[in-house]
Structure 1
Amino acid sequence: MNKKIGFSNIGGVYIEENIQTKTHIHQAITVIISFKDNFDCFIEQKQISSSGIVIQPNTIRQFNSPENNSIAFIHIEPFSEQGLKLIDRDIPFTELSKSQTENIIMFIKKWALHKGNQEKLTEELINSTIKEIKPTTNNLTIDKRIKKVIDIIQKTENTSLKSISKTVNLSTFRLSHLFKQETGITLKKFVLHTKLVKSIKAIYQNQNLTQSAYSGNFADQAHFTRTYKNSFGVLPSKL
Structure 2
Amino acid sequence: MKERVFFEEFDSLYYFHGSSQNWAMQGFHFHKQYEILLFLSDGALLEVGNRSYNVKTGDIFLLNNKEYHRTSGAVGKSHNRYVLMFDPELYLAGCTEVFGYEFDKFFEHRPENFVHRLNLSQENLKKVEKLFLNIEREINEGDDKAVQAKLRLSILNLIVELNEMYRFFLKEQKETNKAINSQETDFEFKDPILYRERIEQIKKYIVEHVNEKLELDDIAKEFFMNRYYLSHYFKKETGFTLQQYITNRKVVEAKAKLRSGYSVTDIAAQLSYNSDSHFIATFKKSTGITPKKYAQEKKNSNNE
TM-score by length of 2: 0.30
Comparing both chains, which one has the higher relative contact order based on Cα–Cα distances under 8 Å and sequence gaps of 6 or more?
Answer: 1
TM-score, normalisation: structure 1 = 0.38
Tell which structure's C-alpha radius of gyration is larger.
Answer: 2
